[in-house]
Amino acid sequence: MDREKLFDVIKAIAKEIEAEKELLTDLDNAIGDGDHGINMARGFKAVLEKLPNLAEKDCGAVLKGVGMALVSNVGGASGPLYGTFFMKAGDALKGKMEINAADFLASFSSAVAGVKMRGKATEGEKTMLDALCPAERAMKEAIEAGKSLKEAVSAGADAARKGSESTKDIIATKGRASYLGERSLGHRDPGAVSSSLILLAIANTL
């Protein structure tokens, strides 16, 4: 993935989030405060506005810029978490003008570790990690088996979608949904769904 492709990926993520804004808001209405779609769409709109300023930067700096725009514009719990995700992803790609499969995996893993640390959460708590962690495992397995970046990310997107579906069966123990206890059962976690949409947009662009 060269920088041009990276910019296409970021634009595709922004488009997917904007297109699914209402779904994310509806999901958050069921177990949270109904702002996840609005928050994410606002954040990625700010990302799009910032992209021209990042045109000359390396892949690491571009993703860092994305993360900083998200931190300042998304708000809620997910703002600092997605901000950390993209900033950590960028840290792992410092100075790179291209991203190969191994770079992508290292960057993704570091991003997921950043979210875990920042949110003091782990898989199985009905959060975005229930999409991100299975995606990380699926991509690792695919890349270790010699699959291409495109194939690996497709496998990751698939795992993220299944992971986001599985959050229906989890009682939330982190974030706003945890106030509901057992009443959070039967609903998908909005952050897991947004993470799954992000992976889908990356896979479709590659």
Return residues touching Mg ion (CB under 5 A).
28, 32-33, 35-36
Give CA–CA dist 76/25, Å, rounded: 13
The contact mask relative to ligand ADP for 134-163 (x = CB under 6 A, - = no) is ------------------------------
The minimum distance between CB 31 and ligand ADP, in angstroms, equals 8
Q: Pick what 112 binds: ligand ADP, Mg ion, none; C-beta below 5 to 8 Å, kind-dependent.
A: none
Give CA–CA dist 202/159, Å, rounded: 14
Give CA–CA dist 178/186, Å, rounded: 14
CA-nearest of 5, 18, 88 to 47 is 18
- Choosing from 13, 41, 121, 159, the residue that interacts with ligand ADP (CB under 6 A) is 121
Site residues for ligand ADP, 46-105, by CB under 6 A, read 76-78, 81
Three-state DSSP class for residue 108: helix
Q: Pick what 67 binds: Mg ion, ligand ADP, none; C-beta below 5 to 8 Å, kind-dependent.
A: none
Could you tell me what percentage of the chain is helix, strand and coil, using 3-state DSSP and rounding each to the nearest 5?
75, 0, 25
CA-nearest of 197, 171, 190, 175 to 29 is 190
Query: Which residues in this chain contact ligand ADP in the complex, by CB under 6 A?
Result: 28, 32-33, 35-36, 39, 76-78, 81, 115, 119, 121, 127-129, 174-176, 189-192
